[in-house]
Amino acid sequence: MHVTPETVADEHERIRDDEAVPAVINDVRARLGPLFGVEVDSVTVEAYRREVDAVFADGDRAVNVAALSGLLRELDCTDDYPGFVVDEFLGRKLASTVAGGEPLALLAEATFHFADVHVHGDGPAGADDREAALATGFQTRLPGWTWREGDSPFAVDSE
């Protein structure tokens, strides 16, 4: 794989135009909300696209997201299981890279496994991991979880 500014721009457009990802985001949120006893706002395609643009506006993050996404899109392995570890690893890394720094990166990685069991594709083995990773990375970044709104009750006021 050779990653150039052009391949990053192409992957940006591919991810931005993928309307399956917001659908997976909303499915994940609909499944997780009741498990935590909360209602989680759904995500519009427009909000998703704005967030994709924000991720790709950071060139250092963009090149990594593009490379991980491209690897997963093409990754396949005979009988799948031997490749299971690598597509899970790359999926977790893609989700956390999209989400940003801690603690969101860890939340995205944890949520990736939850989403991955519900996402199944007809393409290469890594394609469904890519979709689950993008969905969990972006759903972690996007508003809708009430615990993320407002200041943390754990912040220390040093004044």
Q: What is the pLDDT of residues 6-42, one digit of tens each?
A: 999 999 999 999 999 999 999 999 999 999 898 999 9
Query: Would you state the pLDDT for residue 82?
Result: 66
pTM: predicted TM-score of the whole model, two decimal places: 0.90
Query: Would you state the pLDDT for residue 19?
Result: 92
Whole-angstrom CA distances from 34 to 23, 27, 38, 39, 58 are 18, 12, 6, 7, 34
Structure tokens at 111: 């949520």
Query: Would you state the pLDDT for residue 88?
Result: 87
pLDDT > 90 in the chain, percent: 63
Query: Would you state the pLDDT for residue 76?
Result: 77
Query: Would you state the pLDDT for residue 80?
Result: 63
Query: Would you state the pLDDT for residue 116?
Result: 83
Of residues 73 and 121, which shows the higher confidence score?
73
Q: What is the pLDDT of residues 125-149, one digit of tens each?
A: 777 899 999 999 999 999 888 777 8
Structure tokens at 89: 């690893």
| Least confident range of 47-51, 64-68, 119-123 | 119-123
Burial grade of 96 (CB within 10 A; 0-12, 13-18, 19 or more): buried
Query: Would you state the pLDDT for residue 83?
Result: 62
**CA dihedral sign of residues 50, 154, 107, 26:** negative
Q: What is the pLDDT of residues 86-118, one digit of tens each?
A: 888 999 999 999 999 899 999 999 999 899 887
